[in-house]
Structure 1
C-alpha cells in the first residue's frame, strides 16, 4: 500500500492489524460509555482497553466502501503503522456494523472495510506533541457536512500505555497497522452515506484528511 510521506512515496505492508477499543484516558467516562452501550444491547468488554485482531485486507485506501444493512458508521481514529523499526502516524475510520455489534463487537469490526488515509507522518514529527493532535469527523446529511466528532488525542490513552496494552495482548508489531481509538460523538450514532475525518497537528500546522462514500448493497 502506498502512502505519501512529506514529498515522497513509501510502500507499507501489513502482516497484522489491530483495533483498540475502550481506550479512553478517563476511566470513569469509559465506564459510562460501556454502560450506555450495554443499554443498546452491546456486551461489556472482557478487558479495558480491549484489542481486536483483524484481517489486514480490511484496511483500504478506497474512496468508497460497500456495506450490508442500514446501520453502520465510521469513527475517526488515530492510526499507528509499524514497518520494522519505523513508525508512522495517520488517520483511519473504524467503520462498524452497529447492529452486529450487539451480537459480537469483534465480528462487527471484521465485517466492514477500514478506510485509511493516503498521507502519513513520521512518528518523530508528532511524538512531542502527541496529546495536542486533534481528531475531527463529519457526516454528510441533509445536503451538507455536519460535525460528528471533535476532540484531542489527549482523551485517548497515552502512546506508551497503548503500546503496553498491545504487548500484553501479544500483538505482532513488526509490520502492523493499529487503530488506536476514537473520541466521543457530538450527538449520538448516525448512519450516513458519506464520512470524512481529519487528523490535525496544530503545532506544526499540518493536517491529514480522509473521505469516503458508503454504498449499501
Structure 2
C-alpha cells in the first residue's frame, strides 16, 4: 500500500493538469464518473494515503488500497478503474478505491494530522497518544487519525531508529522517547520522499522486510504481552 510520501510524489507529478478541463472519462468504477466530464481541476491534494482531485463543488478521493497503481500519459495492460483525459495528456488509475467527497475538501480533512502537511501538529499527536496509554506503539503509528500517511515501512524504520519495541505500550514510553517517536515519524517521511525520488529507498531500510531485528528482537511477532517499562527499549 503506498504510504504518504508516495502520494505526495503523485501529487507533484500531476501538477501539469491543474486548472485543466477533463474532456473524457473512462473506467470500470461504479461511481458517476460522467460527473467529472467538462469539469476543471481546481487543485490536487494529498492527505496521508488519500489522493484528492479537487473540483469547484466536490472532490474525488483515490485510495490505492493494497495493489493500486497509476499511470500518467500512458496505460498499462490491465482494466482501468478510472481514466481522466485532458486535451494534452491523461491520468489512469488501477485497482483502487474511488469515492466522491462533497463540498469543500477542507471541511472533511484535518490537515494537522497529515505527517507531511505544513499544518502538521506534533502537539495534537502527543495529546492523542497520551489519551491512549494502552495502545501499542506499532498500532499508534499506523493510526491514520494520529499519523496520517504512516504505513508499515515508516512504522518499522521509525521504531528501529528510536530503539523502541513495537509491542511497547504508549503509556510506558518516557516523555523524551514519546517526543522522539513524534519527531522521527515526520523526519523519516521526508527522507522517504527524498530517497524514493532518487530510486534508492530500499537501500536505506534498516528493519523493514527483516523477520529478525538486527538488535536480536523479533519484529513481526503475532502474540502480544503486557509490557513493563523495561520492555520499551530495544
Q: Using CA pairs below 8 Å that are at least 6 residues apart, which structure has the higher relative contact order? A: 1
What TM-score do the two structures reach when normalised by structure 1? 0.24
Higher helix residue share:
2
